[in-house]
Amino acid sequence: MMLARARPDRIRGVTLLELLVVLTLMAFIVTIVLPTLGGGVSTASLKSAAREVAAGLRYARGQAIAQRADALLVLNVDARTFTLPPDTHVHRLPERLELKLYTAQRDLVDDKVGAIRFFPDGGSTGGRITLAAGERKYDVDVDWLTGRVTILE
């Protein structure tokens, strides 16, 4: 008795051309979908914003000491901006950033605008500005006694 062997006519598989088409489509879909899902503030821009606020606070402290007069950093939580009066330049922070301001009661203009005040001796009213994006946050602290500005993660 003779056994019949099954002869495959052709081995089935994926061609290189089909694989390239699928990879190209996947890359195209990823470039379209990822920007719409992301949309948040990157860690680098969050850290940069915290450094910019800290630099503004240090500048205000330096101005208070140099000019022997009170100096302010005025923060608008809603607009995500701050100014250093008498300079009218408005410093803008990233749009999707969450801001919180903790300061002395006398330096609150309203519930969305407040200031941190520095005195000629280098001291301040103290306070904290919190910059957050999702789970990530930075606290910019101002010591009331020394006016020292620090960034905490």
d(CA 147, CA 124): 5
Buried b (16+ CB within 10 A) or exposed e, 57-69: bbbbbebbbeeee
Q: Among 109, 99, 104, which Cα is nearest to 132's? A: 99
d(CA 23, CA 96): 33
Cβ-proximal residues to 53 (8 Å cutoff; 6+ apart), any chain: 73, 75, 82, 93, 129, 131, 140
pLDDT score of 6: 57
pLDDT in tens, 104-148: 899 898 889 999 999 999 999 999 999 998 888 999 999 999 989
Under CATH, which number does the domain 43-152 receive? 3.55.40.10
pLDDT score of 31: 80
d(CA 130, CA 50): 8
Determine the length of the chain.
153
pLDDT score of 36: 60
Domain ranges of the chain: 43-152
pLDDT in tens, 24-57: 999 888 887 765 655 567 888 889 999 999 999 9
CB atoms within 10 A of CB 103: 20
Average pLDDT over residues 78-84: 91
Give this prediction's pTM: 0.72
CA dihedral (30, 33, 36, 37) positive or negative: negative
